[in-house]
Amino acid sequence: MLTLASKLKRDEGVKAGRPPGGPSDSSHRVSIRDRLLIKEVAELEANLPSTCKASFPDENKLHHFQLAVSPDEGYYQSGTFHFEIDVPEAYNMVPPKVKCQTRIWHPNIAETGEICLSLLREHSIDGTGWAPTRTLKDVVWGLNSLFTDLLNFDDPLNIDAAEHHLRDKEDFRNKVQDYIKHYAR
Active-site positions read: 116
- For the chain, the farthest-separated pair of C-alpha atoms sits apart, in whole angstroms, at 71
CB 109 within 8 A of CB 115: yes
Which residues make Cβ contacts (< 8 Å) with residue 55, sequence separation at least 6? 65, 66, 67, 68
